[in-house]
Amino acid sequence: MIWNAEDGPGKVTCVLNGRPSASGISISGQCQMGGFGQQVRAELRYDPASGRYSGTYVGASIGAAELSGKRRGDSVVLTITWPQPVNGDTHATMTIRNSGKGRLAITVTDELKPGGARSKVTQLALNQS
């Protein structure tokens, strides 16, 4: 899927399957925007000894991004490290908020230009079905 964050909002429809385990979750599926589709995959693990989350996320043609972070209240805040620059740098922030009742909100913020203000570039609402 080729899309630039400066293009503004677009509606994306995703069908994802999640497989929880004792120490994490695996998510995989397909997202569609217009006539373009993209495979999506995420693996997130929790280490109780350190209280840290880590894993990988694949949702763009540039390859797998590394995820790392900690819980803050009802959210997990992760640093995304892309394998090559996205919006001019290799880092962004992903916040996963569990609002209960089978609902997750995922927000990604990034600088649209290096050194610029941070903006929401992705905002997803996931509902368990």
pLDDT lower than 50: segments of the chain: 1-3
Domain assignment of residue 7, yes or no: no
CATH number at residue 98: 2.40.128
Domain assignment of residue 64, yes or no: yes
Domain assignment of residue 84, yes or no: yes
Q: Give the domain extent around 45.
A: 12-127
Residue range 60-73, pLDDT digits in tens: 778 899 999 999 99
Task: Give the per-residue pLDDT at 65.
Answer: 94
Domain assignment of residue 29, yes or no: yes
The structural domain count of the chain equals 1
Cα gap 75→70, rounded to integer Å: 9
Domain assignment of residue 2, yes or no: no
pTM for the model: 0.83
